[in-house]
Amino acid sequence: MSKFSINLLVYNGLKFLPQCIESVLNQSYKEYDFLIIDNNSTDGSRDYLKILQRSMPHIKIIFNETNAGFAAGHNQGIGKSDSEYILCLNQDIILDKDFLKNAVEILNRGDKIGALQPKLLRLKKIDGEWQKTDIIDTTGLMMLKNRRIVNRGQGWLDTKYQIPNTKYTEVFGADGAAPIYKREALENIKIPISNKNFEYFDEDFFMYKEDVDLAWRMRLYGWKTVYAPDIIGWHARGAGDSAKTKYLDVIKERRKISQFSKYYSFKNQRLMQIKNELPLLLLRHLFWWLPKEIASWFYILIFEHYTIKTIKKLIMQIPKMLKKRRLIMENKKITAKEMKKWFI
């Protein structure tokens, strides 16, 4: 059994795959399994991966016949692995050569660390090539009192004056681009969906907010998520800067996002809160949360008619979320008082 599993989820990511896979294969730490899950790509990724498989048979590749989504795709990979630590990797990431080495050194120290957040910097396309920059993409998830999720440090320069490069900083949770999870933590927080099957990421979400949902559940179960600045990667994030805080800036960024993304993001935000909210804490934050929630509903009713279609799906999924909520609340270890500090 290898110490580490790297699960790379692919969907129409041919333009990213050569650099991403090369960065995995060039890791200085070699005790890892490499699994690639292709979600029925149609851009030539499958042909590229089949050629790769013939030349490197030690790389395991699963070719799904449908797009299973982010949650089911990564759950599939986690279920296929038996390693102590798991990296859930996006296709648009390039890893530093010591990424795994530095992660193992931290995780081997024990403690109640359930997840690690790498320092992710931005990849920027310059003259047709993806170039590494010193602009921060994320150093972890922050949850605001109004329940908006923000990527910590996003858009800032990577300097000690803006994001202190301390060895360990606890954060609310790990962003879904390249989170590192301890298997013990994932097994502890998994949700039974049948007599034999479990889910780590919520497959009812399909995509968007699954990483935040899992991070919230991990916090409720008493696991820490730690930002480690010496675990470094580069990410070619698409449109949508979550670090914007002014109302007009938030709207401007939202308009860059596809209708598909808006649909799932709006629905899953509400489903996530149904599952994980602590009533006393939400009541304390009502002053911040309620105006933002009312504004969100008004905005989609006036400007995003496509997103309105999600309301029916949202209502249909509420009973299932309430069942999951009961399981989460029965097993949580953290009180509202202890959770309070993670809402900024």
Beta bridge partners of 33: 5
CA 36, CA 23: separation in Å to the nearest integer?
14
CA 45, CA 100: separation in Å to the nearest integer?
25
Instruction: Answer yes or no: are the C-beta atoms of 8 and 35 closer than 8 Å.
Output: yes
Instruction: Answer yes or no: are the C-beta atoms of 201 and 71 closer than 8 Å.
Output: yes
Q: What are phi and psi of 181, to 5 degrees?
A: -115, 145
**What's the CATH fold of domain 4-235?**
Spore Coat Polysaccharide Biosynthesis Protein SpsA; Chain A (3.90.550)
End-to-end CA distance of the chain: 41
Structure tokens at 104: 């193992």
Q: What is the model's pLDDT at position 253?
A: 62
Query: pTM (2 decimals)?
Result: 0.92
Instruction: Answer yes or no: are the C-beta atoms of 226 and 191 closer than 8 Å.
Output: no
Nearest Cα to Cα of residue 5 among 74, 107, 59, 81: 81
SS (H, E, C) the chain: CCCEEEEEEECCCCCCHHHHHHHHHCCCCCCEEEEEEECCCCCCHHHHHHHHHHHCCCCEEEECCCCCHHHHHHHHHHHHCCCCEEEEEECCEEECCCHHHHHHHHHCCCCCEEEEEEEEEEEEEECCEEEEEEEEEECCEEECCCCCEEECCCCCECCCCCCCCCCCEEECECCCCCCEEEHHHHHHHCEECCCCCEECCCCCCCCCCHHHHHHHHHHHCCCEEEEEEEEEEEECCCCCCCCCCCHHHHHHHHCCCCHHHHHHHHHHHHHHHHHHCCHHHHHHCHHHHHHHHHHHHHHHHHHCHHHHCHHHHHHHHHHHHHHHHHHHHHHCCCCHHHHHHHEC
Structure tokens at 305: 């008619």
Q: What is the model's pLDDT at position 261?
A: 75
Beta bridge partners of 123: 132
Q: What is the model's pLDDT at position 254?
A: 55
pLDDT of the chain, 344 residues: tens digit per residue: 679 999 999 999 999 999 999 999 999 999 999 999 999 999 999 999 999 999 999 999 999 999 999 999 999 999 999 999 999 999 999 999 999 999 999 998 877 899 999 999 999 988 878 899 999 999 999 999 999 999 999 999 987 655 655 668 999 999 999 999 999 999 999 999 876 789 999 999 988 899 999 999 999 999 999 999 999 999 998 655 555 555 555 566 655 566 667 788 899 999 999 999 999 999 999 999 999 999 989 888 887 777 778 888 999 999 999 999 999 999 999 999 999 999 99
Q: What is the model's pLDDT at position 334?
A: 94
Instruction: Answer yes or no: are the C-beta atoms of 72 and 64 closer than 8 Å.
Output: no
Q: What is the model's pLDDT at position 247?
A: 54
* Sign of the four-CA dihedral 158, 162, 166, 168: negative
Which residue's entry shows tokens 């360990």? 168
Nearest Cα to Cα of residue 143 among 344, 339, 329: 344
> How is the chain split into domains, by residue range?
4-235, 247-342
Q: What is the model's pLDDT at position 237?
A: 81
Instruction: Answer yes or no: are the C-beta atoms of 115 and 180 closer than 8 Å.
Output: yes
